[in-house]
Amino acid sequence: MSIANYLVLAAVLFTIGAVGVLVRRNAIVVFMCVELMLNSVNLTLVTFARSTGTLDGQLIAFFVMVVAAAEVVVGLAIIMSIYRTRRSASVDDANLLKY
Amino acid sequence: MSETLPATGLLGASWLLIALPLAGAAVLLLGGRRTDRWGHLLGTGTVVAAFVLGLACTVQLAGLDERSVDVDLFTFLQTGSLDVRAGLLFDPLSAVFVLLITGVGALIHVYSIGYMAHDPARRRFFAYLNLFVAAMLLLVLGNSYVALYVGWEGVGLASYLLIAFWYTRPAAATAAKKAFVMNRVGDVGLALAVFVMFAQLGTTSYAGVLGNVGLLAGGTVTALGLLLLLGACGKSGQFPLQAWLPDAMEGPTPVSALIHAATMVTAGVYLIARSAPIYDASPTARTVVLAIGAITLMIGAIAGCAQDDIKKVLAYSTVSQIGYMFLAVGLGPVGYVAGLAHLLTHGFFKAGLFLGAGSVMHGMGEQTDMRRYGGLAGKMKITFVTFGLGYLALIGFPLLSGYWTKDAIIEAALDRGGVSGWLLAGVAVLGAGLTAFYMTRLMLLTFFGRPRWEGVDGNPPPTPHESPGVMTVPMIVLAVGSVAAGFLLVRVFPLADWLAPVFGPEAEAAEHVLPPLLVSVLVTLVVALGALVAWLFVGRREVPVIAPVRVSPVVRAARQALYADVVNESLLMRPGMWLTRALVFVDNRGVDGVVNGAAAALGGSSSRLGRVQTGFVRSYALGMLGGAVVIAGALVAVTAG
């Protein structure tokens, strides 16, 4: 099976994730889209690791997963806290940090 | 210059002459209110002590063969090759001035005790008077132009403080500033002259400069003479720097008597007489002195004719009389003694006149407008008599002081010969006639005629009364001086012999153009004519209490003192203000503009850049995506290309 299929799938997933981050307002959905982009990258890394026969890519994929898990913990906590104070999970409402 | 001797005996202590009044000023200024009760007595005491010491020094000086004593004190400045010693030169010329300053000064101090009795700041007044006397004594006693300059500036400072003594009055504060600024113009000339001496001769002592005038180029000597003359004009209120002197009458009257009659304004004459060798070597500079003296004596006399303020009349009279002295010293060796004799007698009668005017004002509730006087002769008998004697001395009534000394100047001018001699003598005689006119007018307005002082402007009428004895006694002494000084100085103790060591033996004119007796008769006739005209114009008619508005252009010009202030304002003040405004504009808009503009440009652009931070996370994400795409595209392009 050619690696092109994997790469195309990864590109599609990444695009869906990126578009989701840009167009959705709900913080939870934006968060899931970010996860989607991370996992598409993981897929790319693993694909190349398999095709070159080295373990570097797989190693980095594990790192990404660990970081993603930590990020989810912190991110969800922030979203919870914002939701409690503002009664909204829209990312556009949380725009106080500006000029 | 004759040889100078080291100081011995009492003359070695002549520095006390300056130190005594200076110590008095220091005690009174630093002592504060604690000295209020006895401050005036201390102030008067120091000046009287200085007078006694000056008299003793003069007597000792008269007994010496070489009547010139140098008192070396200490090193004033030492830098590189420049070494200025502070020292005093006690010679006949400075002795004359010391006696005039301390003598008349002491009388004026005594008078001030009474005149300022009701002023809460009398102690401060005496402190300033003492400071003034100390500075003036340093001016005439210093043995170098640097010492003279220190005294010169000290006199300027003290006169500023005294003119602005009643500083809450805007007129007094303005007059003091005007005097200070115009004096500064003259002082620049004196300072430049001192610089020229340093540069050309490396010394500023009288001995070093005046003994070596011959080493200098002709142009340098002329420049020195003209620069010194500029300084003299500033201090003595001579054309074109005369406008400050009449305004300075805003100070208390004893100040007018001390500064603007007897001492400070004579500093210019002293400077020129002291620098005689410079003027002897430069006919050009001497001619300018002559011209300035002649112009000033006419300006002062004309302006004096139309003033209504009693002190302003006397002030313009001072300007005019000092013009006579400049004229005299400008004549050269024949005139030095005549000019100094006139200076001395003028010191007596003008101080007496000012004190008399102060006494009149004292009795009339500080009223100075002569149109509000009239008929005071019976109310203030002592003031009337002493003032009258001063008046007669000033106009040159035969055998009184002014007659001896003013006629001597006119004769000296005539003996110059030629057209210029006749012209100068003519101006001097005309000035004498005008002097008689304005002084007679002053007498008639003040002491004769119908009383015009009842109830002015709704105020209760003043109650004219004679001043207390502490004020009248100095006036009597000065009146005696006004009567006798001229005769004594010309005939009994000839000033010419006394000053011979300084100016050399008197240069007797080879031949008089007109016999002296004829000149005296002529001058007396002109004076009588002036007095008669004054009586016709003022004495015979009713005097309006308000000055008439519709008057001839001549009177209007004279009231404005020949537009001296207008000329100063339009020629100097306004262009100066324009220049200042232009410079301020360039500074604010140009220099500040560049600096502030750069800061504003940076601040503005940064705040505009800050607008990019909208707070919308998704727009940041778009930015990051765009950036990542650009970087990736660039990498692809670089690798592929």
Residue B309: DSSP 8-state = B
Do B445 and B523 lie in one domain? The reply is yes
Do B506 and B566 lie in one domain? The reply is no
Contact across the interface for B616 and A97, Cβ inside 8 Å? no
pLDDT of residue B5: 65
Contact across the interface for A92 and B610, Cβ inside 8 Å? no
Consecutive 10-residue runs of chain B (641 residues): their mean pLDDT?
A: 61 84 90 84 91 89 80 80 82 89 91 86 90 92 90 91 89 89 90 90 85 85 91 87 84 85 86 90 90 90 87 89 90 85 89 89 80 80 89 87 86 83 89 90 85 67 79 88 84 80 67 79 89 83 75 79 80 88 92 92 91 84 92 93 72
* Contacting B residues, span 564-623, partner chain A, CB-CB under 8 Å: 607, 610-618, 621-622
Do B511 and B411 lie in one domain? The reply is yes
Do B600 and B634 lie in one domain? The reply is no
B605 to chain A, closest Cα gap in Å: 13
Do B438 and B577 lie in one domain? The reply is no
Q: Going by DSSP bridges, is the β-strand pair B69-79/B5-6 parallel, antiparallel, or unpaired? A: parallel
Do B542 and B443 lie in one domain? The reply is yes
pLDDT of residue B633: 94
Token pair 């968060």 is found at A31
B605: in domain: yes
B624 to chain A, closest Cα gap in Å: 11
Contact across the interface for A21 and B613, Cβ inside 8 Å? no
pLDDT of residue B611: 85
Its domain, for residue B604, covers 560-610
| Sheet strands side by side (includes B69-79) | B5-6, B69-79, B82-90
Q: Taking CA atoms, what residue in B is nearest to A97? A: B615
Beta partners for residue B398, in sequence order: none
B262: in domain: no
Q: Using CA of residue B187, residue B191, residue B192, residue B196, what is the dihedral sign?
A: positive
Length of chain A: 99
B294: in domain: no
Do B494 and B448 lie in one domain? The reply is yes
User: How far apart (Å, rounded) are the C-alpha atoms in residues B379 and B29?
Assistant: 38
DSSP H helical ranges for A53-95 = 56-86
Q: Is B589 left (phi over 0), alpha (psi -120 to 50) or beta?
A: alpha
pLDDT of residue B1: 42
B415: in domain: yes
Question: Shortest CB distance from B614 goes to which of A18, A21, A98?
Answer: A98
Do B488 and B637 lie in one domain? The reply is no
Do B494 and B573 lie in one domain? The reply is no
Which of B508, B523, B548 delimits the end of a domain? B548
Question: Shortest CB distance from A18 goes to which of B610, B616, B625?
Answer: B625
Do B485 and B519 lie in one domain? The reply is yes
Instruction: At B293, list the tokens.
Output: 């003296």
Instruction: At B515, list the tokens.
Output: 């016999």
Q: Does the pLDDT at position A50 exceed 60?
A: yes
Closest CA to B260 of B181, B158, B396, B188: B158
C-alpha dist (Å) from residue B331 to B327, B442, B502, B506: 6, 31, 16, 13
Contacts of A95 in chain B (CB under 8 A): 614-617
Question: Which residues of A touch chain B, with CB atoms under 8 Å apart?
Answer: 18, 21-23, 25, 30, 91-92, 94-99
- pTM strictly above 0.90: no
B27: in domain: no
C-alpha dist (Å) from residue B61 to B10, B11, B64, B68, B498: 10, 8, 5, 7, 11
ipTM above 0.95, yes or no: no
Question: In this structure, which amino acid lies at residue B136?
Answer: M
Helix (H) or strand (E) holding A29: helix A27-52
User: How far apart (Å, rounded) are the C-alpha atoms in residues B318 and B339?
Assistant: 14
The beta strands (E) that lie in B241-299 are given as none
Instruction: At B629, list the tokens.
Output: 């795409």
CB B350 within 8 A of CB B394: yes
Q: What are the contacts of B195-203 at 24+ separation with CB within 8 A?
A: B196/B220, B196/B223, B196/B224, B196/B227, B197/B145, B197/B224, B198/B82, B202/B81, B202/B82, B203/B144
Q: Taking CA atoms, what residue in B is nearest to A18? A: B625
Which of B618, B622, B629 is best to mutate for the A interface (most A CBs within 10 A)? Answer: B618
B628: in domain: yes
Answer whether B33 touches A (CB < 8 Å).
no
Contacts of B625 in chain A (CB under 8 A): 18, 22
CA B562 to chain centre: 20
Contacts of A21 in chain B (CB under 8 A): 618, 621
Residues 6+ apart with CB under 8 A from B320: B296, B297, B298, B299, B300, B301, B304, B431, B434, B435
Do B436 and B571 lie in one domain? The reply is no
Do B389 and B515 lie in one domain? The reply is yes
Taking CB atoms and an 8 Å cut-off, how many pairs form between chains A and B? 33
Contact across the interface for A91 and B617, Cβ inside 8 Å? yes
Contact across the interface for A96 and B615, Cβ inside 8 Å? yes
C-alpha dist (Å) from residue B316 to B243, B350, B362, B419, B444: 10, 11, 21, 28, 18
Number of domains within chain B: 3
Q: Taking CA atoms, what residue in B is nearest to A22? A: B618
User: How far apart (Å, rounded) are the C-alpha atoms in residues B312 and A48?
Assistant: 111
User: How far apart (Å, rounded) are the C-alpha atoms in residues B449 and B440?
Assistant: 13
Angle CA(B252)–CA(B253)–CA(B255) in degrees, nearest 5?
Answer: 75
pLDDT of residue B2: 46
Closest CA to B447 of B394, B386, B524: B386
Angle CA(B401)–CA(B405)–CA(B410) in degrees, nearest 5?
Answer: 140
Burial class (CB within 10 angstroms; exposed 0-12, middle 13-18, buried 19+) of B266: buried
Instruction: At B153, list the tokens.
Output: 């500036």
Q: Taking CA atoms, what residue in B is nearest to A23? A: B618
Cis-peptide into B240, omega within 30 deg? yes
B397: in domain: yes
Contacts of B624 in chain A (CB under 8 A): none
B328: in domain: no
Closest CA to B157 of B183, B122, B190, B119: B183
Q: Taking CA atoms, what residue in B is nearest to A95? A: B615
Helix, strand, coil shares, percent, chain B, to 5:
75, 5, 20
Question: Shortest CB distance from A99 goes to which of B613, B617, B625?
Answer: B613
Which of A14, A93, A95 is best to mutate for the B interface (most B CBs within 10 A)? Answer: A95
